[in-house]
A and B are shown apart, each in its own frame.
Chain A
């Protein structure tokens, strides 16, 4: 690098004396407006120090004349949000389930609330999409063990199933095998009978042998034609919907052990208006009745 300043003879301007690979920089003055922009920036920054929190101290910092605080701003926004939500909650509290479902605005609001509450509380068992799984009811189809009307859904959520709480839904499928109420061969025959009920080919002999057993043991809850009973939470055995599986082993297992899942009692944990919103969300996302 050469350091002596020289005059470039094409332009007659002095160079800065620096050279890079044979290229030298001319020492032309910068435009003056550039300088003014710089002064303006300095003036602005001084104003900024005074007006806004800027300097750190040992224990605190300069607060600035505008008392700007992001923390306080967030606080304000949160309380505004609370207020806004309060209105919606009040509307949900006073409106009946039918009114909510009829009013498009309220419906949309309930849907929003319901969706987020569902994600937080229900999705663990029923899945984000609400389709459930083995032992967990599918909330998106048109099959309802305990009824699919808005009120039914609201009741089930509020009181839960088999929690022991007062008013909880309760169905009692006996454990025919484990409790030795029926002999293993009778359970095999009954399995064929249930397969037949759902319109699938079954062993005719077994079906005939099981008929009297079905009549004495099962009819009370599942009905003569196997259509079930929503009051008792007894499933319909003639449709294509199986909570614990539709193959013979699953059916046999269910007759043997009489499984029944538990759904928590949400009343008391969720506010009544939240449960309403949840009911509306579930109802409108499925073949609610």
Chain B
């Protein structure tokens, strides 16, 4: 993040006071020790445009997460009827009409590269939107705060409760909160395992003790991590543990949109009494609403900082205050550093979404998505791999004919058995043979959704005029299911026996 540009207000009085106080508190706690406890953050509920977007995304993302494994999908008998399934034992991945085999792991790689590039592009354009809106850590923390508010009330009530001595009221509120958190955590861990097994079966066997050990272990681990990460650690995950903020910093430049406090407009800040003039002062009334709503516990008026996840809650809070004050909204806004400093110095400012880095990211994203999509669509329903014998590379027969040996791995991706007709192209008159078959073509039955190895010998007719190495290919066909693989036929013409 370009934090080296310091557009903090020049007069740091309040700031010094605040941080000195915070420091005193920290030191006080660390007396005699080197360790500092987490300073609790009590984000206040805010209403507004960005909060609504966050609600919507919360519902959508959690909805997708919980519902997906329950979507049924018709496949022939013996195959899973679940739309999204990672089948480790069968070594298949099912996603609606797409079925992936282990060797197609590159499609996942493509997806991961696409996600990374999309993240780069979005970040270069709009800052850390992923962090603020879509990251599971943010979403679950948000959900946990809803529960917290339900039991303990909003910011002030929570602070009062924490400071109050132990009482029946405090105990039941705290217990209720933690139990609900644990229930959500368990639901999260529970939902995860449904992606790896048939969901309706698993939900039964889970309670009867017949589910695989991995299901219990995964469920337990995810329950723990959800509860600890979203309940206890919260912003500390983003600030101390997560690598994304560090990486994303490299995507941002002065033209990226980020949640920014328009210092030139807000300063000098001071409380404002109704009816007084706004002449000679800034729009910020120092109400600190932007600070109290921030889930990261920072003051955005200090400028861009590592902790800010670009969630826009401070924007909503400040817009609300500005409206009440009768001042234009947008004192805190999604804005670019360049635009802010231009406007600050009285120039016209524009937003530049098209910049060299966004062009590169978009280009790379288009190429990778194109390639991934193409490799997914161009994938045949049959799978053919050819391994040539290396020792011997060829064998001379009694009549002078030359024979090469190959091992074919024939995969049938369809859900019905296929009788594949195997042919060899490139050497005129070549004959194929394998234990149990011989001719210009040989055939082999491959059961549904399986790979079968086939040893094939290809014999070139005696006296065939062949180069030492002849480019050739194997073709397998069964109705309109077909695949081919390139190989070579070595004849040893250059060094006769």
Contacts and interface: CB of A to CB of B under 8 A. Distances in A.
B23 A31 contact: no
A285 B455 CA distance: 9
Contacts of A236: 398
A35 B233 CA distance: 14
Interface stretch (A136-144, A151-159, A165-173, A174-182): A136-144
Given A13-B23, A285-B405, A141 B398 contact: yes
Interface in B1-59: 16, 19-20, 23, 26-27, 30, 33-38
Interface string B243-273: 0000000000000000000000000000000
B392 A131 contact: yes
Contact of A287 (B26, B34, B37, B397): B397
Nearest to A107: B435
Interface in B357-394: 389-392
Interface in A107-146: 107-108, 127-131, 138, 140-143
B10 to A, nearest CB: 14
Given A107-B435, A129-B389, A287-B403, A32 B397 contact: no
Given A29-B33, A32-B38, A131 B395 contact: yes
Nearest to A142: B397
Nearest to A132: B392
A60 to B, nearest CB: 34
Given A31-B236, A240-B400, A287-B397, A130 B392 contact: yes
A128 B391 contact: yes
A131 B397 CA distance: 12
Contacts, number: 80
A32 B37 contact: yes
B398 A12 contact: no
B92 interface: no
B175 to A, nearest CB: 23
B396 interface: yes
B240 interface: yes
A251 B34 CA distance: 93
Interface in A238-272: 239-241
A33 B72 CA distance: 44
B392 A140 contact: yes
A58 interface: no
B480 interface: no
Contacts of A131: 391-392, 395
Contact of A12 (B20, B37, B391, B457): B20
Given A29-B30, A240-B398, A34 B35 contact: yes
A35 B35 contact: yes
A142 B398 CA distance: 6
A143 B399 CA distance: 10
A40 interface: no
A31 B403 contact: no
A30 interface: yes
Interface in B76-101: none
A30 B34 contact: yes
Interface residues of B, number: 34
A284 interface: yes
Contacts of A192: none
- Among B38, B435, B453, find the residue whose CB has the most chain A CB atoms closer than 10 A: B435
Contacts of B390: 129
Contact of A140 (B27, B30, B395): B395
A130 B33 CA distance: 75
Interface string B227-245: 0000001001000100000
B38 A31 contact: yes
Given A12-B19, A101-B435, A142-B397, A31 B392 contact: no
Contacts of A33: 38, 233, 236
A12 B35 contact: no
Contacts of A241: 396-398
B435 A12 contact: no
A239 B19 CA distance: 98
B396 A141 contact: yes
B397 A12 contact: no
Given A142-B398, A239-B399, 18 more contacts: A29-B27, A29-B33, A30-B36, A32-B36, A33-B38, A35-B35, A129-B389, A129-B390, A129-B391, A131-B392, A131-B395, A141-B403, A240-B396, A240-B397, A240-B400, A240-B497, A284-B435, A284-B455
6 contacts: A12-B19, A31-B240, A35-B35, A131-B395, A241-B396, A287-B397
Interface of A: 11-13, 28-35, 101, 107-108, 127-131, 138, 140-143, 236, 239-241, 284-287
What 10 A-B pairs come out closest when comparing CB atoms?
Answer: A129-B391, A29-B36, A239-B398, A129-B392, A131-B392, A29-B30, A140-B395, A240-B400, A32-B37, A32-B35
